[in-house]
């Protein structure tokens, strides 16, 4: 007795991510199309065709295009939020913790295969499907606020934490606009040093 075929098979063409799952390939194709073509101009049919599967296969993994975008956006924030929570459990000085978080967060934004962060400004992000992404991003912003206040030696959280958070996310625009970026480690270090200066940490 033969086994049942996989949903949406056979594929047309080579796999995008030979070592990846079908779900990961769909996310990768969507990330490329959303960041290069635009979210509104991309349909689920286009994503399925880029992966080389039937549209039914895509809907087996994701019920809507919004669900795909939400997962992509959350992947740009959740690792850094988890890392910030881990840092809070370590006996680090506020300056060292802030430096570590900035370096890690910049690394996440630079290391993604596609520059999904440019989609943060989409008006759709204010709608219900993206509630969890917005909440997690605000939690990460709050972590920056707390660290910056601790570095400054004050219990008052002010706009400086938001400025540091914005500086970290500015690498999204740099990645989009500049023809070439410094090596990732160098850019991580530069942003971390600038964040510490902004937080008034003595060198």
User: pLDDT by residue for the chain (203 residues), tens digit each?
Assistant: 434 334 444 454 556 555 568 899 999 999 999 999 999 999 999 999 999 888 998 999 999 999 999 999 999 999 999 999 999 999 999 999 999 999 999 999 999 999 999 999 999 999 999 999 999 999 999 999 999 999 988 877 778 999 999 999 999 999 999 999 999 999 999 999 999 999 975 44
CA distance 84 to 78: 10
CA distance 188 to 174: 13
Question: What is the enclosing helix (H) or strand (E) of 24?
Answer: helix 22-36
Residue in the block written with tokens 């008006």: 123
pLDDT tens for residues 131-145?
Answer: 999 999 999 999 999
CA distance 69 to 89: 31
CA distance 118 to 120: 6
Three-point CA angle 186, 187, 192, nearest 5°: 100
Give burial (CB, 10 Å; 0-12/13-18/19+) of 42: buried
pLDDT tens for residues 71-105?
Answer: 999 999 999 999 999 999 999 999 999 999 999 99
Structure tokens at 10: 């056979």
Contact 72, 34 (CB under 8 A): yes
- Chain centroid to Cα 168, Å, comes to 12
178: left (phi over 0), alpha (psi -120 to 50) or beta: beta
- Which among 150, 126, 110, 9 is positioned nearest to 69, based on CA atoms? 126
CA distance 49 to 53: 6
């Amino acid at each position: 007795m033969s086994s049942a075929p996989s949903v949406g098979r056979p594929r047309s063409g080579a796999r995008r991510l030979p070592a990846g799952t079908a779900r990961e390939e769909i996310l990768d194709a969507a990330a490329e199309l959303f960041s290069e073509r635009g979210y509104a101009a991309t349909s689920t049919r286009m994503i399925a065709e880029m992966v080389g599967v039937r549209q039914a296969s895509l809907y087996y993994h994701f019920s809507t295009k919004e669900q795909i975008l939400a997962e992509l956006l959350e992947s740009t924030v959740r690792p850094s939020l988890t890392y910030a929570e881990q840092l809070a459990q370590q006996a680090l000085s506020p300056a060292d913790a802030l430096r570590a978080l900035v370096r890690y967060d910049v690394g996440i934004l630079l290391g993604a295969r596609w520059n999904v962060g440019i989609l943060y400004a989409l008006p759709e992000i204010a709608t219900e499907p993206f509630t969890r992404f917005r909440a997690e991003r605000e939690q990460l912003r709050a972590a920056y606020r707390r660290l910056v206040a601790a570095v400054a030696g004050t219990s008052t959280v002010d706009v400086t934490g938001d400025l540091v958070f914005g500086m970290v996310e500015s690498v999204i625009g740099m990645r989009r606009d500049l023809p070439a970026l410094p090596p990732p480690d160098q850019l991580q270090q530069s942003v971390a040093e600038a964040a510490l200066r902004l937080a008034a940490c003595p060198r």
